[in-house]
Amino acid sequence: MRGLMMDSPLLISAIVRHAARNYPDREIVSVTGDNPQHRYKFSDCIQRIHQLANALDKLDLAQGDRVATLAWNDYRHLEAYYGIGGAGYVCHTINPRLFPEQIIFIINHAEDKLILTDPMFVPLLEKIADKTPHVEGYIILTSEDQMPQTSLKNAISYEALIEPESDVYEWPELDERTAVALCYTSGTTGDPKGVLYSQRSTVLHAYAGIAPDVMNLSMRDCVLPVVPLFHVNAWGIPYAALMVGTKLVLPGPKMGDGETLYALMEAEGVTLAMGVPTVWLALLQYMEANGKRLDKLQRTVIGGAAVPESMIREFRDKHDVVVHQGWGMTEMSPLGTLNSPKVGMEDLSPDDMIAVQAKAGRGIFGVEMRIVDDDQNELPWDGVAFGALQVRGPWVCSDYYKLEGSADSHTDDGWFDTGDVAKIDPEGYMQITDRTKDVIKSGGEWISSIDIENVAMGHPSVAEAAVIGVAHPKWTERPLLIVIKAAEADLTKEEMLQWFDGKIAKWWYPDDVLFVDEIPHTATGKIQKVKLRQQFADYKLPT
Ligand code: AMP
């Protein structure tokens, strides 16, 4: 027997309608290239979303056509999310930090018809315009008077495009499985792969994101996403915030600028900020150097890479801020786990609590996890066994865009193979031990590069640490520790190795320590292990 409930489709336009009715006065504050502090209300934002959707409908676009954005986090980019996706087009967010060849690849692969771009990326687009033949026009995210001179065809300023349009819009009644957004993986190996989110997956993911043990988002919050709108939907914040009426603070091109981030947090009363560990390193360093303290921030969600214990400790001890680690990936919209304490953990000692927080967190309802060995046998959740992490759920990709069936990413029984190696403890807290490709295979056993990095990062003289496996005649591979010293710190190899005493197993100790000035990062701020391995491919470990 079927239930007798309405079959209302889950559409992002419903979020806009809900926000318009319930939170018209909530604020969105943005830094943009043409305005260091733009401020308006949800009601203004929604009127402009309607204007954009009306404007797009008048252009030569068909439902499902890809409309790209190349932009930082600000109000116009937020409007584009809803104006494009809500009207039935696909909002393809492009990461401006990718190499030009990768940008050309993904624009062509997506067959983008239009590109909405920040003015600062106009020169980049001009350089590659003759290599992206599908693009029919460019909308420059600025006002008419700030419009740059450009050779880009059919270029128009965003404000001139939307200005003549009505601020009332009739949203189309789409099937909830309609595609709404497209984001390509960072592509550390091979070409980037497209992940195509649906209206339904996006709305369900936003519902999950606001839950108390996930991001605990509400109208009482003010959120600063330092996670870019160009990468995995800024962890779903643009949708979740309008769903519950959260004030938004968008840092524009100032994402990596500790001073601006600090000033915004204090001035706007930011209660929750989110970002990858590299971003918070910059902020913590700025505050340390300038004797600043965070008075308003209550919590931060950090993910995208393992969070070092030292960072959790510094936020807690110096700023009274709780760090919630999260794990996810482009293929998962991205939320998979979030770290919040379970009942019964109130009495843990501060050190034991940090040990819990250093894990990636518990599975969010909607994402099922399992860990398996090389023969696909499920491993126990005992906090010891580690294996390939596989997931399934309504906001996990079922395939890659235009690669259907060929990416070898899913198991025969329908789970997505994340490419991560993890262990899960009896309480359900998952901990990433490595990417499958980064794990160090020493004498037939696995060594977690992330565990060694985390311990190294705890040393006060270490600014950043990376561990890779290098070839070893007897053990196949052994760990090499690469370190950037903290400013003016004096640290020797012997002191560094001593630091591991009692913290990791002896056979996990790095065979060598190298001090460098720079560690390469991917376009999303993660350590580029592939590049490091290439750089040190011929490195001979001391015997
Ligand atoms: P991306 O698709 O670019 O967002 O990258 C996803 C990958 O980042 C995951 O597959 C993990 O390898 C890594 N990652 C994300 N969150 C964490 C975390 N909390 N700890 C360790 N690695 C993480």
Residues forming CATH 3.30.300.30 domain(s) in the chain:
438-543
Q: Is the CB of 329 under 6 A from ligand 1?
A: yes
CA of 526, closest atom in ligand 1: 8
Pocket test for ligand 1, best of 233, 420, 452 (most atoms within 8 A of CB): 420
Cα torsion for 155, 159, 162, 164, to the nearest 10°?
-110
Is the pLDDT at 259 greater than 70, yes or no?
yes
Q: Is 337 a catalytic site residue? A: no
E-assigned strand segments in 425-461: 429-435, 440-442, 445-447
Q: How far is the CA of 276 from the centre of ligand 1 (A)?
A: 9
Q: Pick the catalytic residue: 27, 278, 446, 503? A: 446
Mean pLDDT on 93-98: 92
245 near 23, Cβ under 8 Å?
A: yes
The single residue listed with the structure tokens 């990709």 is: 397
223 near 516, Cβ under 8 Å?
A: no
Peptide bond into 133 cis (omega under 30): no
Return phi, psi of residue 404, to 5°.
Answer: -45, 120
Residue 187 confidence (pLDDT): 60
320: left (phi over 0), alpha (psi -120 to 50) or beta: left
E-assigned strand segments in 268-402: 272-275, 299-303, 322-328, 335-338, 361-363, 368-372, 387-392
Residue bearing the CA closest to ligand 1, atom 20: 306
pLDDT in tens, 438-481: 889 888 788 889 889 989 999 999 999 999 999 888 888 999 99
Q: How far is the CA of 302 from the centre of ligand 1 (A)?
A: 11
Residue bearing the CA closest to ligand 1, atom 9: 329
Mean pLDDT on 234-250: 98
CA of 360, closest atom in ligand 1: 19
Tell me the pTM. 0.91
**CA end-to-end span of the chain:** 71
Q: How far is CA 85 from CA 163, 201, 254, 266, 392, in A?
A: 20, 13, 26, 33, 24
Q: Is 185 a catalytic site residue? A: yes
Question: Which amino acid does the sequence have at 529?
Answer: K
Q: Is the CB of 439 under 6 A from ligand 1?
A: no
Q: Is the CB of 409 under 6 A from ligand 1?
A: no
The single residue listed with the structure tokens 């070409």 is: 191
Q: Pick the catalytic residue: 331, 453, 464, 477? A: 331
CATH classification number, 438-543, choose in 3.40.50.720, 3.20.20.140, 3.40.50.10420, 3.30.300.30 = 3.30.300.30
Q: Is the CB of 97 under 6 A from ligand 1?
A: no
pLDDT in tens, 493-538: 999 999 999 998 898 999 999 999 999 988 777 888 889 999 998 8
Q: How far is the CA of 420 from the centre of ligand 1 (A)?
A: 8
Helix (H) / strand (E) containing 280? helix 277-290
- Please name which of 109, 83, 277, 86 lies closest in space to residue 184, comparing C-alpha atoms: 109
Top-tier CATH class for 12-255: alpha beta
Q: Pick the catalytic residue: 185, 246, 260, 330? A: 185
Give the C-alpha separation, 234 to 78, whole Å: 10
Helix (H) / strand (E) containing 73? none
Residues forming CATH 3.40.50.12780 domain(s) in the chain:
12-255
